[in-house]
Structure 1
Amino acid sequence: MPIKKVILAGGGTGGHIYPAIAIATGLKEANSETKIIFVGTDRGLETELVPKAGYELKTIRVRGFKRELSLDTLLSVKDMILGAIDSIRLLKKEKPDLVIGTGGYVAGPVIFLAALFKIPTIIHEQNVKPGVTNKLLSNFVDKVLISFSQSMQYFPKYKTIITGNPVRKELSKGIKHVALAKFGLNPRLPVVLCFGGSQGASRLNKAIIEIMDEIIKKRHFQLIHITGIKHYSEIKRKLENKGIDIARHGHIIVEPYIYDMQDAYAAADLVIARAGAISISEICVCGKPAILVPLPTAANRHQDYNAMLLQRAGAGIIINDNELNGKILLETIKSIIFDENYLSKMGKSSKRLGNPDALDKIMLEIHKLLK
């Protein structure tokens, strides 16, 4: 049957929003007449990302719970009631054919009430260890879609399907020699790509600054370092204070943001990153070895579990955030890139974890549910 209207609920961080946008794009490609409505809060990253992607965003009054008893917890209870009222009004007004949740506390009332009203419901979990919202909702929805087989233990098996985490299709289209030429890099030297996720990477930036002198002097490898827009001016100033002019060193690229990430991945022999769901999914689809520094403040320690998955599979090495410094980072980089056999094995292990057809699998499950 044709899908006339879909509500996508999820928000807070990029890890919940980007998969929702990918699913929306897949639905639109299948049928341009399908109306897509995103539901989020007025405080999350969705207020920026969803309109930028060209989709309508409706907000509800809801906030996350804190475990201790406090004024904030009481306000959360009040907002939960208001969020439920907003969700009921929205569902009755829009009458969607399907409601999909991609995580974050905003998905809670929307998905639960949709299931209560017998509207077809799906949740998608991006991380290895799911958040509280998705674990609770899994008992009420029609289907649970997961990104990694290791997540199966947390959900009812009879309705849980491994699809993978949808990533940008263009990521797999990068060509190494073309990318190296675009960045002006030497094809005979290995390339290290370093970036942070949507929640920042100040610790990674600090460690890179500490080893910049050696990268310049020894020229053992080349570096593409993405600082993040909000950190760029500070990093540039700190490098200048050290007497480092990046423009004079062709084997080092420092940028606030790179839009054509398929080229950055294609050029890279090794990736240094946080361990958010989007980052590890992209790393694995591209088949890259990784040094992972999990964000310790991430909810439910989900980045630790994501990183452990890659390390156990032989695709990555973990450096704990509180142990990260320039010396340890440089030693770890050298232990990988100077051992071609090890580098190759890590890359193959990473590729095995990747799921480049995730969006197609998600679309298939949607159509099977609604047929």
Structure 2
Amino acid sequence: MKNKSIVLTGGGTAGHVSLNQAIIPTLLKQGFDVHYVGSKAGIEKDLITQAFPNDVTYHAISSGKLRRYFSWQNFSDPFKVLAGVTQTMAILRKIKPVIVFSKGGFVSVPVVMAAKALGIPVVNHESDVTPGLANKLALPFVSHIFTVFNETLAHLPEHKATCTGSIIRSELFQGSRERGLARCGFDGTRQVVLIMGGSQGSAIVNNAVRENLHILTPQFDVIHLCGKGHIDEALTQTEGYTQFEYVTTELADLLYASDYVISRAGSNSIFEFLALYKPMMLIPLSAAKSRGDQILNARLFSKQGFAVVLEEESLTTETFAKTFEELLGRSGQILDAMANATPPKTPEEMVDLILSFQKQK
């Protein structure tokens, strides 16, 4: 009987998991035994085990963190990575997958290294304009890397990189405006603004939003995904304002209920907003707090007419209000640009591309 096992990996943020979530249903329909290798306590564990409790086997390994700043842990984490390689090799020997698909994040590094050592093909995926550190480290070990942006190809070896465009999970298109409004206690008589500060939340974005509630709530209903531990109890009874720490399966409903989105500029998220025709105001994570990937993502979307952008360094109560006013004024133009955008690939098309590199028995 032909082996139909596949291993997926990626973690650290929701963005390093969402594409895997998108393709898992297709892999299951095709009869694959799907395994996921992630960290012991990362966000990927919760996202995968909650979404696919009975269909995907989750394997936790040791992994370090790829830091761009000095920390004494930088000296011990390489040993965690080596331990992760050893653990992954044992897992892969048992599963014998036809291919490993990696979405990046620090937990993926020992996985791709182990797969290469065992002669198992590895396919990577990069969502941002420039490759992340994990995917850079993985390059020598992968058979191929797919990208979302054409601009990314300039940073990768020509012989092992292809631009696929965005891939959107099918369940995103199954959202319901009615369910989303009911979840928030809104009656649907006003337009809705959805605010997302990323999977970890953002204090600076949260503060700007709350300082502008007196401007927003008289005209709009506001859904605020503020991050774990960032609920403001003093505002829980504010009319027209609903806070959530984080949502998973309900996100599609909240997006369908929304007319505008204010968000960070992670690649997966902004392409989802584009696919659902949501005019967006992007506040990318600053270069001081990241490698600048969100800034590049946001600027490209602005250039293509899909978004207005407010740099985090310029974010104040006043600039937030002014940029949101700009979003409202340009929403018609933004929707026109979105209507002419290249449609995303389906999960089925992405699975076919991945499997074209599989190990042949």
| Greater Rg over alpha carbons, structure | 1
| CA contact 1:284–1:351 (8 Å) conserved in 2 | no
2:314 pairs, out of 317, 323, 327, with: 323
With over 3 angstroms needed to count, the CA separation of the structure-2 counterparts of 1:344 and 1:174, relative to structure 1, is farther
1:185-216 deviation per Cα after TM superposition (whole angstroms, max 9, x unaligned):
22xx5432212221213222211211212334
Report the counterpart of residue 62 of structure 1 in structure 2.
63
Report the counterpart of residue 112 of structure 1 in structure 2.
113
| CA contact 2:177–2:254 (8 Å) conserved in 1 | no
TM-score (norm 1): 0.84
Gaps of 5+ in 1: none
Compute the displacement of 1:116 (Å): 3.7
Compute the displacement of 1:308 (Å): 1.7
Report the counterpart of residue 361 of structure 1 in structure 2.
349
1:230 aligns with 2:249: no
Q: Which residue identity does 1:227 align to in structure 2? A: C
Report the counterpart of residue 215 of structure 1 in structure 2.
216
Report the counterpart of residue 9 of structure 1 in structure 2.
9
- Cα distance in 2 between the residues matched to 1:349 and 1:117: 47
- The 3-state SS of whatever aligns with 1:230 is coil
| CA contact 2:23–2:348 (8 Å) conserved in 1 | no
Compute the displacement of 1:167 (Å): 3.2
With over 3 angstroms needed to count, the CA separation of the structure-2 counterparts of 1:174 and 1:160, relative to structure 1, is same
- Cα distance in 2 between the residues matched to 1:179 and 1:81: 45
Compute the displacement of 1:174 (Å): 4.5
1:198 aligns with 2:195: no
Compute the displacement of 1:291 (Å): 0.9
Report the counterpart of residue 349 of structure 1 in structure 2.
337
Q: CA RMSD in A?
A: 2.8
- Cα distance in 1 between the residues matched to 2:129 and 2:162: 14
| CA contact 2:81–2:109 (8 Å) conserved in 1 | no
With over 3 angstroms needed to count, the CA separation of the structure-2 counterparts of 1:267 and 1:84, relative to structure 1, is closer
- Cα distance in 2 between the residues matched to 1:68 and 1:331: 34
| CA contact 1:129–1:306 (8 Å) conserved in 2 | no
- The 3-state SS of whatever aligns with 1:300 is coil
1:6-27 deviation per Cα after TM superposition (whole angstroms, max 9, x unaligned):
1112111111122222222221
1:245-290 deviation per Cα after TM superposition (whole angstroms, max 9, x unaligned):
42xx4x5444445543333323333210111233212111112221
Q: Which residue identity does 1:212 align to in structure 2? A: L
1:128 aligns with 2:129: yes
| CA contact 2:129–2:149 (8 Å) conserved in 1 | yes
- The 3-state SS of whatever aligns with 1:36 is strand
| CA contact 1:192–1:272 (8 Å) conserved in 2 | yes
Q: Which moved more, 1:322-331 or 1:260-269?
A: 260-269
Mapping for residues 24-43 of structure 1, pairs under 5 Å? 24-31=24-31, 34-43=32-41
Structure whose residues are more often helix by fraction: 1
TM-score (norm 2): 0.86
- The 3-state SS of whatever aligns with 1:27 is helix
Report the counterpart of residue 19 of structure 1 in structure 2.
19
| CA contact 1:12–1:45 (8 Å) conserved in 2 | yes
Compute the displacement of 1:365 (Å): 0.6
| CA contact 2:62–2:81 (8 Å) conserved in 1 | yes
With over 3 angstroms needed to count, the CA separation of the structure-2 counterparts of 1:60 and 1:299, relative to structure 1, is farther
- The 3-state SS of whatever aligns with 2:17 is helix
Q: Percent identity?
A: 28
- The 3-state SS of whatever aligns with 1:369 is coil
Q: Which moved more, 1:131-140 or 1:194-203?
A: 131-140
- Cα distance in 2 between the residues matched to 1:274 and 1:25: 27
| CA contact 2:38–2:61 (8 Å) conserved in 1 | yes
